[in-house]
Amino acid sequence: MAGGWASDDAVQEQIDSSIEDAVARARSQLPKGESLHHCEECDAVIPEARRQAIPGVRLCVKCQAEHDRESAAFSAYNRRGSKDSQLR
């Protein structure tokens, strides 16, 4: 039940918008272009199977895992769900 000026679907619209933003952010971080044969950070060989599975791959599995760990430490999304964090 919405109150005030909010429509009855306001909560669902906010959830949908948050999901769309997260999907757009994830898609923007996908690699593009031609895959490298060697990791750009440690110069290890990137296996052919990885290059075919992920077009545009630039890092070996070890370096990508480290990069993902560092990226997970910072998140632009407030998962606590407070009303103040959901205002645009």
What are 15-59's pLDDT values in tens digits? 999 999 989 988 888 888 899 999 999 999 999 999 999 889 999
How far is the C-alpha of 86 from the C-alpha of 6, rounded, in Å?
Answer: 14
Q: Which domain holds residue 64?
A: 29-73
pLDDT at 5: 67
- Contact between 29 and 11 under an 8 Å Cβ cutoff? The reply is no
In a domain, 49, yes or no: yes
- Tally of domains in the chain: 1
> Among candidates 86, 67, 65, which has minimal Cα distance to 76?
86
Q: What's the pLDDT band for 8 if we cut at 50, 70, 90?
A: confident
In a domain, 82, yes or no: no
Give the predicted TM-score (pTM) of the model: 0.57
Helix (H, G, I), strand (E, B) or coil at 45: strand
What are 50-62's pLDDT values in tens digits? 999 988 999 999 9
In a domain, 67, yes or no: yes
Would you state the structure tokens that stand for residue 3, as one six-digit string?
């109150």
